[in-house]
Chain A
Amino acid sequence: MTQWERFLDTFFNAAVLTRYAPDILAGVWVTVQLSILIVIVGIGLGAGLAMLRAYRVRVLSLLIVIFADVFRALPPLVLILIAFFGLPNAGIMLSSFLVLFLVLTLTLAAFAEEIVWAGLTSVDRGQWEAARSTGLGFTQALVWVALPQAVRLAIPPLTNRAIAITKMTALGTVIGVPDILNQATTAQSFSGNASPLMLAALAYVALFLPFVILARWLERRFAWKKV
Chain B
Amino acid sequence: MMAGSDAAAPSLDVRGLHKAYGDLDVLKGIDIAVKHSEMVFVLGPSGSGKSTMLRCCNRLEEPDSGAIRVGGDPVTGAGVNLNAIRQRIGMVFQAFNLYPHLTALANVTLALRKVRGMSRRDAEARGMEALAQVGLAEKAASHPAELSGGQQQRVAIARALALEPEVMLFDEPTSALDPELVGDVLEVMRDMKKAGMTMLVVSHEMKFARDAADRVIFMDKGVIVEQGPPEDVFGAPRHDRTRAFLSRVSGQ
Contact = CB atoms under 8 A, between A and B. Distances in A.
B84 A135 contact: yes
A33 interface: no
Interface in A126-143: 126-127, 129-137, 140
B98 A136 contact: no
Interface stretch (B3-11, B64-72, B87-95, B180-188): B87-95
A135 B100 contact: no
B101 A129 contact: no
A220 to B, nearest CB: 15
A227 B152 contact: yes
Contacts of A132: 60, 83, 86
B97 interface: yes
Interface in B91-114: 91, 93, 95-101, 110-111, 114
A144 B143 contact: no
A126 B176 CA distance: 14
A134 B87 contact: yes
A140 B99 contact: no
Contact of A134 (B95, B100, B115): B115
A149 B156 contact: no
Contacts of A227: 96, 98, 100, 144-145, 152
Interface residues of B, number: 30
A225 interface: yes
Interface in A102-140: 124, 126-127, 129-137, 140
Interface string A148-169: 1100100000000000000000
B56 interface: no
Instruction: Give me the 4 closest cross-chain CB pairs, A-B, nearest first.
Output: A130-B97, A134-B111, A225-B145, A126-B97
Interface of A: 124, 126-127, 129-137, 140, 144-145, 148-149, 152, 224-227
Given A131-B99, A133-B160, A134-B110, 14 more contacts: A124-B95, A129-B97, A130-B159, A131-B110, A133-B86, A134-B86, A135-B86, A135-B115, A135-B163, A148-B101, A149-B99, A152-B101, A224-B143, A227-B152
